[in-house]
Amino acid sequence: MEALAFLWNEVIIRPMLNTLVVLYVLLFSQMGLAIFGFTVLVRVVTLPLALKQIRQMQAMTSIQSKLKELQEKHGKDRARMSQETMRLYKEAGVSPIGCLGPMIIQMPILFGLFQVLIQTLYSNPNDLVNLSSRLYSWMPFDQVHAAAPLNHKFVGLDLAANPRLFLFVVPLLVGASTWVQQKMTTTPAMDARQQSSQNMMLWMMPIMLGVFAFQFPVGLSLYWIISNVIGIAIQYFITGWGPLFPIFPKARPAPAAVSPAPEAAPKEIVENGRNNPDRPNRRRSRRISAERAKRRPQRGRGRNTK
């Protein structure tokens, strides 16, 4: 446990703390701008993973029809279904784990930033001593060591405090930005059951993070909002707004009523290049005349005479 704590402090907490303090000094002693710069820096570092995630999502979307065919064909045989699915993933170059890369990377950063904000933004003597001891001695700026205590006010917000009820807009922005980013990166489901699960996660995660935002410092919510906005912008430049709006389908215009085709007029018998409507049908007249001939009494030799 001590080794894990040492790695956590030296690999995650201390580099992030020093980076945030340097950005604070460079950006006019404004912690809000420092958090914005820190978020952009994190997004630039994780950009290759984000691009890989987006490509994986596009590949997953392109093979949804094949996955549906496999499910219809091998739905009852789970072992065969798993084998065929993995084969299809391999042929398409898709890795389901690759879609979770940026999220896995951001989780330690999010937890680390929570501790960094607690250690940097509070101004009691003990926190100031801990902050000074965690700064690197080889920092090139003398202002870094003289920056404490740090100003934790930004546009009227206390970045070290939890949002009050009148600041409900911060948790609302956390939930809304999370929903938009999730919606843009969600692959379409193969069946109604998976679609129901996706819809539940699509709404449950933003609501949960919005509730948690009331318990976290405003600075942490600010980082999350900026990170989501940057992620939405990256997704837009690659896929556009297409994945966002199927939940609001546009009303399709009603198909135009097809008028019944006019009945073809009976063809008139043409004789010698001229229409002759008065001419009777020969076949019908011959049939009728034959029936009449049968009904006529025979004359001549076969007729009974006195």
**pLDDT of 19-61, one tens digit each?**
888 898 889 889 899 999 999 998 898 888 778 778 877 778 7
Say what the pLDDT of residue 21 is: 86
- Between CA 54 and CA 243 the distance in angstroms is 12
Name the percent of the chain lying above pLDDT 90: 11
Task: Record the tokens describing residue 71, joined without a space.
Answer: 């499910």
Task: Tell me how far the alpha carbon of residue 23 is from its chain's centroid.
Answer: 33
* pLDDT, tens digit, 9 for 90 and up, residues 159-179: 877 777 556 888 999 999 999
Cα distance between residue 184 and residue 163, in whole Å: 28
Largest CA distance in the chain: 154
**Number of neighbouring beta carbons within 10 Å of residue 85:** 17
Least-confidence region, from 109-118, 136-145, 174-183, 275-284: 275-284
Cα 164 to Cα 74, 159, 212, 254, distances in angstroms: 54, 12, 13, 50
Residues 16-42: b if buried by 16+ CB within 10 A, e if exposed: bbbbbbbbbbebeebbbebbbbbbeeb
CA distance 262 to 237: 53
Cβ-contact 226, 42 below 8 angstroms: no
Q: Choose between 153 and 37: higher pLDDT.
A: 37
pTM for this model (two decimals): 0.71
Residue 271's DSSP bridge partners are 274
Confidence of residue 246 (pLDDT cuts 50, 70, 90): low
The encoded tokens of residue 90 equal 């391999």
Q: Which of 231, 222, 221 lies closest to 184 in space, CA to CA?
A: 231
CA pair distance 1, 87, nearest whole angstrom: 40
The pair of three-digit structure tokens given for residue 151, joined into one six-digit string = 């100003």
From the number of C-beta atoms within 10 Å of its C-beta (0-12, 13-18, 19+), residue 165 rates as exposed
**pLDDT given at position 89:** 81
Q: Which two tokens stand for residue 303?
A: 């007729």
